[in-house]
Amino acid sequence: MQGGKKTVLVINGPNLNLLGTREPHLYGHETLQDVEIAGQKQAKELNANVTFFQSNWEGAIVDKIQEARTNGTDGIVINPGGFTHTSVAIRDALLAVSIPFIELHVSNIHAREEWRHHSYFSDKAKAIIVGCGAAGYGYAIEHVAKKFPERP
Ligand SMILES: O=C1C[C@@](O)(C(=O)O)C[C@@H](O)[C@@H]1O
């Protein structure tokens, strides 16, 4: 919570910088920039702070999550991209900072290859949004801003 406003951190993992051009039949035509612009507009309407972070590097994502421990972040929305299916380190970071999070996937990972069905995050997430396309980010941000408790 910063200045009485809920603070939401949206983290996108590897290859999500290519949203809009990458396999559009799976991920749609909206770019990450479109998602960020819509998120900032929504933040104003919700009277919340929304920060976006994208990295293709696992360690950079771990660093960002650790930073959130002490900067007033009330909730994290994370699309870990390919790290969904591999990253013990990102899972451990989320648990280490004890910040509630929503796991988000643009595509429906359960309707894809079997190895995408397992996530290192789902059993610890407060909520999971899959298969809603880029609109999922808006749903997740609204849920954190309206329903997640303030952190001290
Ligand atoms: O990079 C991604 C994107 C994804 O997280 C999604 O948003 O649907 C699904 C993952 O399996 C994939 O590796």
Asked if residue 3 has pLDDT above 90, the reply is no
102, 130 Cβ separation under 8 angstroms: no
pLDDT digits (tens, 9 = 90+) for 123-140: 999 999 999 999 999 999
Rounded Cα distance between 68 and 42, Å, is 21
Q: 30 alpha carbon to ligand 1 midpoint, in Å?
A: 15
6, 77 Cβ separation under 8 angstroms: no
Nearest ligand 1 atom to the CA of 82 is 13
> What is the pLDDT confidence band of residue 67, given thresholds at 50, 70 and 90?
very high
Angle between helices 32-46 and 135-147 (to 10 degrees): 30
Asked if residue 48 has pLDDT above 90, the reply is yes
The answer as to whether 125 is a domain residue is yes
Asked if residue 84 has pLDDT above 80, the reply is yes
Show the domain range for 67.
Answer: 6-147
Ligand 1 site-directed mutation target among 55, 105, 108, most atoms within 8 Å of CB? 105
Instruction: Output the CA torsion 60→95→133→138 (10° steps).
Output: -100
The answer as to whether 75 is a domain residue is yes
How high is the pLDDT of residue 151?
A: 86
> What is the pLDDT confidence band of residue 80, given thresholds at 50, 70 and 90?
very high
Looking at the 3D structure of the chain, how many domains does it have? 1
The answer as to whether 152 is a domain residue is no
b/e map 85-105, b = 16+ CB within 10 Å: bebeebbebbeebebbbbbbb
What CATH number is associated with residue 44?
A: 3.40.50.9100
The answer as to whether 1 is a domain residue is no
**139 included as an active-site residue:** no
The residues, ordered by sequence, that sit 6+ positions from 24 with a Cβ below 8 Å of its Cβ are none
Asked if residue 61 has pLDDT above 80, the reply is yes
Rounded Cα distance between 17 and 82, Å, is 13
How high is the pLDDT of residue 152?
A: 77
Give the mean pLDDT of the chain: 97
How high is the pLDDT of residue 78?
A: 99
Nearest ligand 1 atom to the CA of 14 is 1
Rounded Cα distance between 23 and 87, Å, is 23
**137 included as an active-site residue:** no
